[in-house]
A and B are shown apart, each in its own frame.
Chain A
């Protein structure tokens, strides 16, 4: 009965986790990074994941982003059981549905901002002209018009992170995963980045899952999930986002 209602509303949650665990190592030395996570994230949400180091939030993000696989439990993306996919199918998910923003920016050095942004489009087999056009628009969106030919070394930290965001959104992903996107930035730059993410979430409806340890940054999100020792400690909506 419930299932039929779900089908009628056509509302598979974008991300659904049931009892997801992650164990590193085995036997005595086994380290339980995740001890059973149940979580749903719907389309259009902006979720901040918080928690002290070692609480499993990065592992959680890696699993969501299909960079890592859970040891147990079920992870469904758009109703698809991800753990049953092959490695290349998971790569396909990353390629067509996910965008990534990292703490360390992770841009290709000695490569222009424009080429960095074009990179995911190359893997999507998009022609050079279209690639170029889209990358320019993405850079414009993050406010880097005129910086296209600069290499990461010639850009400030905040600008580098914007290039990274442009690279993440140029494919128009369903979800943007951000791992401490403001971790390497000062407060003013951090706020700029957060404003940018908020705008992308609000204007474009891109779902964002962001790991952070700064409450100020988490406050930009609509929902905050707190991790502790591999379990979800709390899960609450933020008043501010409404």
Chain B
């Protein structure tokens, strides 16, 4: 019986193809918009998460200055190497501490030159930033101690300076410093902020201090906390330690910052998720409007087919059978709209993901939800017209012209 009803509804829909198409347009657009928004939003979120994960999990950044960004006062004391050693020594649950000082320098090899970020650090840097070497080796202890002229380059730098040539063992010039390439970093791609993480040259901190910055300062420490440990606690411990080392009285504000990458990550994913939710909500409204469109047309259809309903009732159709007929028709219509919307949305978001350069994350859940929702729209908005049809008085309906 249900199968018959479904077949019947297909025939009714086919009978008025143009009208049916216009009827479901609202649902098509609604479902399409919701799925596209969620898919693209999900892709963006996934991208942010992935990038943050690749930056190294449980990462804390300890920087001098009162707050992050521009406007920090320049007369705050900078860090020394000993500060990092103190953190590693005195704060438990620390996995690694890397001192980081860096500046933009033009690297030269042969007749090629490339302006890049030169970072002075030690082997902890690779651990903290979750990076590994593709070829070559890390710094040796004596190289770190003596400030040897060796460097490890990122993929972008290698490509720009060496092209197809062998980079390992070659000497590149960083201002006055000529250093030997001893390793090449595994490529990592763009960061969340859109920075090329492979556009980097790492040299021993001592080398950096002596040959480039000319002082004993360390710009910042990157600290990674043990996986099992609480970053909050580590953050608190580092703050207390730093206050002590910097002789701050209880009334003084911090003249340094301990930032948790997790917080930044949360904030960033939170923003994309909120945006996705907002856009989806707007899209969902169009689904609702689509439902009203279906109700409209179903009401017209009931009026148009009053006589038919009368015949069916007179011949012995139960009220609920007439109700079912119109309900099924509405549901078939709206599900059809949902299906078309899903197809369009998947195609559209696949394309959009490429254009916006976010990963295409197929979200089966939202596709299912959107489909069920479109069917539900049919039930909800088809019910009233169907009830109207079923409640018709057969005698009246038969007289209807």
Binding site for B on A (CB under 8 A): 62, 65, 67-68, 87-88, 91-92, 94-96, 98, 100, 102, 104, 106-110, 119-120, 122-125, 167
Contact = CB atoms under 8 A, between A and B. Distances in A.
Contacts of B312: 119, 123
B395 interface: yes
A179 B345 CA distance: 55
Given A67-B394, A68-B395, A122-B4, A106 B318 contact: no
Nearest to A104: B398
Nearest to A95: B316
Nearest to B311: A106
A92 B395 contact: no
Nearest to B11: A111
B314 A123 contact: no
Contact of A123 (B15, B310, B316, B319): B316
A216 to B, nearest CB: 25
Contacts of A120: 315-316
Contacts of A62: 395
Given A67-B314, A123-B321, A124-B316, 20 more contacts: A67-B395, A88-B318, A88-B319, A91-B318, A91-B319, A92-B316, A94-B316, A95-B317, A98-B316, A100-B315, A102-B398, A106-B307, A106-B311, A108-B308, A108-B311, A119-B315, A120-B315, A120-B316, A123-B316, A125-B1
Residue among B311, B312, B313, B394 with most chain A CB within 10 A: B311
A211 to B, nearest CB: 14
A30 B137 CA distance: 106
B315 A94 contact: yes
**Which of B312, B315, B317 lies at the interface centre, i.e. has the most chain A CB atoms within 10 A of its CB?**
B315
A91 B311 contact: no
Contacts of B315: 94-95, 100, 119-120, 123, 167
Contacts of A104: 398
Interface of B: 1, 4, 15, 307-308, 310-319, 321, 394-395, 398
| Majority secondary structure, B binding face | helix
Contacts of A100: 314-315
B15 A110 contact: yes
B319 A87 contact: yes
Contacts of A87: 319
Leading 6 A-B pairs by shortest Cβ distance: A95-B316, A94-B316, A120-B315, A106-B311, A123-B316, A67-B394
Nearest to B394: A67
Contacts of A67: 314, 394-395
Contacts of B311: 106-108, 119
Nearest to B399: A104
Contacts of A119: 311-312, 315
B311 to A, nearest CB: 5
Nearest to B310: A106
Contacts of B15: 110
Contacts of B319: 87-88, 91
Nearest to B315: A120
Contacts of B310: 106
22 contacts: A62-B395, A65-B314, A67-B314, A68-B395, A88-B319, A91-B317, A91-B319, A94-B314, A94-B316, A95-B316, A95-B317, A104-B398, A106-B398, A107-B311, A108-B308, A110-B15, A119-B312, A122-B4, A123-B312, A123-B318, A125-B1, A167-B315
B304 to A, nearest CB: 11
Nearest to A94: B316
A67 to B, nearest CB: 5
A112 B383 CA distance: 29
Nearest to A125: B1
A65 B314 CA distance: 9
B387 to A, nearest CB: 15
Contacts of B313: 91
Nearest to A118: B4
- Interface hub of A95, A104, A122, A125 (most chain B Cβ within 10 A): A122
Contacts of A65: 314
Most buried by A among B312, B313, B394: B394
B317 A123 contact: yes
B298 to A, nearest CB: 18
